[in-house]
Structure 1
Amino acid sequence: MALQIAAKEAKRGHHVLAGDIKKAVDASREVTRKPHVTSLAQPRGDLAELIITSHPSTRLRDLVLPRALQDQIKHVIAEQRQRKRLLDSGFTPAHRLLLEGPPGTGKTMTASVLAHELSLPMFTVRLDALMSKYMGETASKLRQIFDQVDTRRGVYLFDEFDALGADRAGNDVGEARRILNSFLVFLEDADPSSLVVAATNHRTILDKALFRRMDLVLTYSRPDARQAASVIRGRLGSLAAKSALVKLGEHTEGLSHADLVKAAESAAKVSLMRGETTVDRDTLVQALVARRSASLG
């Protein structure tokens, strides 16, 4: 409630008062917060069906992405780590992110990395359940979620976000338009101590207003040959024979990060069941070809 009052005062131009209220809230949180510990208590009531709580262990160095994208993620982490300094100077750290790109290219993994690097729990919002079960009262459920965003610091992942964020102009369902409008209002006022992450495979159908509300839009793509080799190497570890990862470009082209991980796991299991201690190139290529056939048809 105090944060909502602060937000209203800020909109009225009373920035000093708003800043004092936020400082008081932060100070009260510091008194009760244990160092490096974040509560993982499961949501109760309706939220229990809408939010999945986890504590990811995926590290920043586990992400295999283009350098520019990695730098953007590092910058978000840096701003959150120094959020108090930024807020005290009147600047808001990046906390509203849109991740867009093909399936299996690292969007959900990025949310996990943000949670781990900031020692925060990750709350995955199940939009499918939100939209199908509570179509007539979704706005009120969204309010409950954003109330938690304001009171329990964490990384809130809205996966498959196109289910909620489709363009209002092309949506004939009045309730769906009202839901998106509510989301935009809640997002605008979301506490910057938490991160709200929306992930989608279909950027083109999203409402244009979403892009104006986001602090950062991160675009993901399928890995190139070098990145593909890094993904496979990271999954196989010591099981990869020295020659296994040489010139795999023609076999990895068009495959996502998730496809590459699955292929590496398949090759590893075949090799281990044969009693071998490493995965050779032929076995890995066969697994990649099979995965390509399954994924790309």
Structure 2
Amino acid sequence: MASAQQLIGLIKSHAEGDADRFFDLAMQLAASEDQKGHRRLAEQLRGWAEAGKAPPTVTASVPTPLVTPRGDLAGLLSASYPEVRLRDVITSEHIDDELSQIVSETKMTEALERKGLRPRRRLLLSGAPGTGKTLSASALAGELKFPMFTVLLHGLITKYMGETAQKLRTIFDAVRSSRGVYLFDEIDALAATRGGGNDAGEARRILNSFLQFLDEDTGPSLIVATTNLPDILDRAILRRFDLVLSYELPTTDEIYTAMERRLTGFDIGPINWSQVTEVATGLSTADVIAASEDAARRAVLNHSERIETSAIIASLERRRRLHGIGGKLNAEKPTALRTKRTKRKSDL
């Protein structure tokens, strides 16, 4: 008969709405009973498993029902179903290509495994705040139709010895059993270097536990960690990730793209993009988008659909003052964006 672990797996996958895993476990159970000579029972199990499996045409475009973390996980994870896609993330071409490849590898896991390969499932995204790291994690979940589980560090890290490691184990148990994108945002709190002068024994134990759980993980989920301070991470962390991507402040072309997308529906003909991108140099993508929204709101309140260069520059300057950014950072001078803009529109 079925072992306790097999029964737990069946019930757990059913409760979490993971139809594929439920079917796989039921078929494994049927094969096990067949080997024991219980052919009648094996046939019944296969029959009910097949009957309960919905046709692919019905489920292909429907996301797995979102599982709300319960019990011990309720204070450790927050769950969401992102609608953002990779096309919504404005990054370098290199990062775009790598993220697209991760999506393809995850979707083709079985084909890779048949050749003795495995998809990359552990990603570390580093860079300044507002450059698109967290948005990239959301986009991966959106593309794969996976739930995104964000680790709540304030609930994870405690002052009691051994408690944080135990909570980490609970999270990694979920990583193995509930497929999704698991986001460790600002991983510095867990993975700061062990060589620091103020390093405490408990901090070392937390990091060692985290490294151990990463090594042991063989589940179907993606683990995405982000950091604004890559230099303080313990070097052992870097070796645990399949892919490390560095996010930079936006180039002039990326500034233009972000602002043009956000100002869709407004008259942006009068904007002098060379002046605008020069003022925007040194700001993050999030700041550039926020400045665009600020200028758009002011236009609406003035009963206008036209965005003037002066309005955009004023919004950008307010963002610079907010962050205490004085002079422009050393960067490549803006190129002739009006020519590139015409080319983009003609390509559509």
Work out the CA distance in 1 between the residues paired with 2:228 and 2:23. Answer: 36
Compared CA separation, residues 39 and 24, structure 1 to 2 (3 A): closer
Tell me the number of residue pairs that the alignment of Structure 1 and Structure 2 aligns: 277
Where 1:239 maps in the other structure, the secondary structure is coil
Shift of 1:133: 6.5
Shift of 1:86: 1.0
Conservation of the 8 A alpha-carbon contact between 1:128 and 1:163: no
In the other structure, the counterpart of 2:144 is 118
Work out the CA distance in 2 between the residues paired with 1:251 and 1:213. Answer: 39
**Aligned counterpart for 1:289 among listed residues 317, 320, 332:** 317
Work out the CA distance in 1 between the residues paired with 2:23 and 2:97. Answer: 29
In the other structure, the counterpart of 2:258 is 231
- Give runs of aligned pairs for residues 51-66 of structure 1, distance below 5 A: 51-66=77-92
Work out the CA distance in 2 between the residues paired with 1:231 and 1:253. Answer: 13
In the other structure, the counterpart of 1:189 is 216
Compared CA separation, residues 135 and 156, structure 1 to 2 (3 A): farther
Conservation of the 8 A alpha-carbon contact between 1:160 and 1:201: yes
Work out the CA distance in 2 between the residues paired with 1:114 and 1:133. Answer: 33
Work out the CA distance in 2 between the residues paired with 1:220 and 1:135. Answer: 35
Task: Indicate yes or no: 2:45 matched with 1:45.
Answer: no
**Aligned counterpart for 1:127 among listed residues 135, 143, 153:** 153
Q: Residue type matched to 2:201 in 1?
A: G
Conservation of the 8 A alpha-carbon contact between 1:94 and 1:192: no
- Give runs of aligned pairs for residues 1-297 of structure 1, distance below 5 A: 27-28=24-25, 34-35=59-60, 36-132=62-158, 136-170=162-196, 172-244=199-271, 246-247=273-274, 248-297=276-325
Q: Which entry has the higher C-alpha Rg, 1 or 2? A: 2
Where 2:116 maps in the other structure, the secondary structure is coil
Work out the CA distance in 1 between the residues paired with 2:232 and 2:252. Answer: 30
Work out the CA distance in 2 between the residues paired with 1:127 and 1:81. Answer: 29
Compared CA separation, residues 26 and 88, structure 1 to 2 (3 A): farther
Work out the CA distance in 2 between the residues paired with 1:24 and 1:122. Answer: 18
1:93-132 deviations in whole A, cap 9, x for unaligned? 0000000000010000000010000010100001233114
Percent identity among equivalent residues? Answer: 43
Where 2:189 maps in the other structure, the secondary structure is helix
Work out the CA distance in 2 between the residues paired with 1:240 and 1:227. Answer: 20
1:25-58 deviations in whole A, cap 9, x for unaligned? 8823896685442231211122111111011111
Question: Mind listing any 5+ residue stretches in structure 2 that lack a counterpart?
Answer: 7-19, 28-48, 326-348
Work out the CA distance in 1 between the residues paired with 2:177 and 2:297. Answer: 45
Where 1:168 maps in the other structure, the secondary structure is coil
Work out the CA distance in 2 between the residues paired with 1:226 and 1:246. Answer: 10
| Residues 126-135 or 168-177, more deviating | 126-135
Q: TM-score, normalised by structure 2?
A: 0.75
